[in-house]
Amino acid sequence: MQQRYLLVAFIALLLIAPQLASEFHVTLLNYIGLYSIVAVGLVLLTGVGGLMSFGQAAFVGLGGYATAYLSTATELPGWAAFLGGSPWMGLLVGILLTAGVALLLGLLTLRLSGHYLPLGTIAWSISLYFLFGNLEFLGGHTGISGIPALTLFGLQMKDGRNFFYLIWAVVMVVVWLTLNLLDSREGRAIRALKGGVVMAEAMGVDTARSKVVIFLIAALFGCISGWLYAHLQRFVNPTPFSLYMSIEYLFMAVLGGAGHVWGALVGAGVITILKQWLQDWLPKLFGASGNFEMIVFGFLLVFVLQRARDGIWPILTRLIPQRASIRTVVAAEPLPTKALPDAGQVLLEANNVVKRFGGLVANNNMNLMVRAGEIMALIGPNGAGKSTMFNCVSGVDRATEGKVLFRGREVTSLDSREIAKLGMSRTFQHVRLLATMSVLENAAIGAHLRGSKAVLSSMLHLERAEEKRLLAEAARQVERVGLKDSMFEAAGSLALGQQRTLEIARALCADPCLLLLDEPAAGLRYLEKQALAELLRKLRGEGMGILLVEHDMDFVMGLADRVVVMEFGEKIAEGLPEEVQRNPAVIEAYLGGVE
């Protein structure tokens, strides 16, 4: 509730600010608004999605130049004449142009990983900058002047004070859209990018698409900022769209609070005011003119990265009561579920699977089968190749040789996302959760494939009915695995054992018929293990097939219907738990070593 008051107070402040502030300060606030729009996009792209871009200013430039050119053009060819003379056409064309360029650049650069992505963005950022400066019809380095003022509701916006309201209205809309997006199924998919592509894909998220989406949104925000800039300034040249400015936008996003949407406004404000101030004072101090503020920014950024990685926003929110993102789950009509296959039906079959990593044979001629309504345990000493086998059957990795069939269909070369769609869901040996996200939301990532509402309806919050059902389902699964009391806590605050259990809840949210659990009992206390065994028995009773990799022999022996034992990548025994337990080769290889 308090949050709402703060928001109202902020809006009230925005409404009266132009009446109170001097011309100079209104201009400063206008610039903060323009920068905020770009920085919000960067928060989404870099802070939330983890994709570093040094090219945002170039998109601002596309928006600025598109409208600058079209709204001042007098000699457009006949077929394009309707595009000229209007800022609104400039906006439309700018948006289309930016979307096209961003899609192209996104498809080219977003495949790059690690350092190559920022390097890629630097490359095209510089290219676009020089393009602006060298194209004759864009006025070269002198730019384009005489851009008409905007007219809105009959009001000509020649005055910074009028423009103020337009800019800040756009800022608020952009913030609203972004917050909405993040608080949705698509938003969880975007946030899951930081938890690693492997996890997100295994939950059915099309990570390549999610990356392109945030890249596109960030670019479009840049474009809109550029459009506003051009009509505020009534003049454009290449300078404000350079790599240097892109770096400044990154500063704003990181300083404000990399992953926090409101932080973008704080970052834009702090950097803009600081820059103004430093530009006034530093030359006096040094007795020479120059971009000294960049030096201070450099130190500031290093300081922030060392002392307050998450930027200023989290420090501010510590002072005011936190908004609990989601605190209640409302009852909603349950999501439709798929009927489980009849018990005994073969779900998964691996035939002669071989997996080599260079010269290392991690899996050699592995065969296994899992039926509906049974628990199959895959055991073996550390390094035997169990996780590798898991990865091969779940599509995380691809078998070098051999065949994997799931529900009678060959899935050997399918992606994990495709396999997830068919009804296989898994957990990871090394827990892959989003530490700062709540238990509930982590589980809800698993339900990704059960929703269908896309980005636009998420941004406009038109998908609330579906979202309620997804969250209700996540809550049901969290409760089912016994984590109800921690539902709204951050996943990172749970004990490791509970985190593993949460991974099971997340997997169950996908409504699978086959569950792959990689060492689910590791780190669990005795009673927790008992509860887990109880849950797995119940799932088996309902007809679910479960493939379990486990270390804890007692746990497996009391639970599994059949056991496959691996050593050095090969199957050395298979059978009922009691049989396997008595097998001399197994005792030698595994039990002997452990007991």
Q: Which is nearer to ligand ADP, 113 or 382 (CB)?
A: 382
- Amino acid at site 203: M
382 binds, among ligand ADP, Mg ion, none (CB under 5 to 8 A by kind): ligand ADP
Q: Residue 467 or 550: which CB sits closer to ligand ADP? A: 550
Bridge partners of 354?
401
Q: Which whole-number Å values give the CA distances from 510 to 5, 22, 482, 503, 518, in the listed order?
A: 38, 57, 18, 11, 17
From 14, 271, 19, 44, select the one nearest 166 (Cα to Cα).
Answer: 14
CB of 540 to ligand ADP, least distance (A): 23
125 lies in the binding site for ligand ADP (CB under 6 A): no
The distance of closest approach from Cβ of residue 355 to ligand ADP in the complex, given in angstroms and rounded to an integer, is 8
Task: Select from ligand ADP, Mg ion, none the partner in contact with residue 357, using the beta carbon and a kind-dependent cut-off of 5 to 8 Å.
Answer: ligand ADP
| Distances from the Cα of 24 to the Cα of 150, 240, 592, angstroms | 20, 19, 80
Stretch that binds ligand ADP, among 146-154, 258-266, 356-364, 583-591 (CB under 6 A): 356-364
Rounded to 5°, the CA angle 84-38-111 comes to 100
| Cβ distance to ligand ADP smaller for residue 50 or 380 | 380
Distance CA 275, CA 292 (A): 10
Q: Single out the residue of 362, 376, 533, 560 in contact with ligand ADP (rule: CB under 6 A).
A: 362
Select the residue interacting with ligand ADP from 100, 383, 492, 541 (CB under 6 A).
Answer: 383
The site partner of 100 among ligand ADP, Mg ion, none (C-beta below 5 to 8 Å per kind) is none
Site for ligand ADP contains 571 (CB under 6 A): no
400/429 with CB nearer Mg ion: 429
Cβ proximity of 509 and 473 under 8 Å = yes
Which one among 29, 236, 384, 414 touches ligand ADP, defined by CB under 6 A? 384
Return the SS3 of 577: helix
b/e per residue, 46-75, with b = 16+ CB within 10 A?
A: bbbbbbbbbbbbbbbbbbbbbbbbbbbbee
CA distances from 95 to 59, 197, 209, 217, 355 (A): 10, 29, 20, 11, 47
Of 116 and 357, nearer to Mg ion (C-beta) is: 357
* 394 is an interface residue for ligand ADP by CB under 6 A: no
For ligand ADP, the closer CB: 270 or 586:
586
Residue 430 binds ligand ADP (CB under 6 A): no
152, 155, 169, 360: which one binds ligand ADP (CB under 6 A): 360
Question: Which residues in 33-145 belong to E strands, given as ranges?
Answer: 144-145
Give me the 363-392 binding string for Mg ion, x by CB under 5 A, dash otherwise.
Answer: -----------------------xx-----
Question: CB–CB of 61/226 below 8 Å?
Answer: yes
Question: Taking a C-beta distance cutoff of 8 angstroms, is the pair 29, 17 a contact?
Answer: yes
Those residues with Cβ within 8 angstroms of residue 399's Cβ, 6 or more apart along the chain or in another chain: 353, 354, 355, 363, 392, 412
- According to the binding rule CB under 6 A, does residue 364 interact with ligand ADP? no
Let me know: does 217 contact 41? Beta carbons within 8 Å: yes
Q: Which partner in ligand ADP, Mg ion, none is near 256 (CB below 5 to 8 A by kind)?
A: none
360 binds, among Mg ion, ligand ADP, none (CB under 5 to 8 A by kind): ligand ADP
Under the binding rule (CB under 6 A), the answer on residue 593 touching ligand ADP is no
Q: Is 458 a binder of Mg ion (CB under 5 A)?
A: no
One character per residue 416-445, x = contact with Mg ion (rule: CB under 5 A): -------------x----------------
Exactly one of 74, 328, 382, 452 binds ligand ADP (CB under 6 A); that residue is 382
**Beta bridge partners of residue 355, listed in sequence order:** 363
Contacts for 5 with CB less than 8 Å, ≥ 6 apart: none
CA 355 to chain centre: 31
Does residue 568 touch Mg ion according to CB under 5 A?
no
Q: Which does 263 bind (CB under 5 to 8 A by kind): ligand ADP, Mg ion, none?
A: none
Length of the chain: 595
> Of the two residues 84 and 381, which places its CB atom closer to ligand ADP in the complex?
381
Which positions touch ligand ADP (CB under 6 A)?
Answer: 357, 360, 362, 380, 382-388
Which positions touch Mg ion (CB under 5 A)?
Answer: 386-387, 429
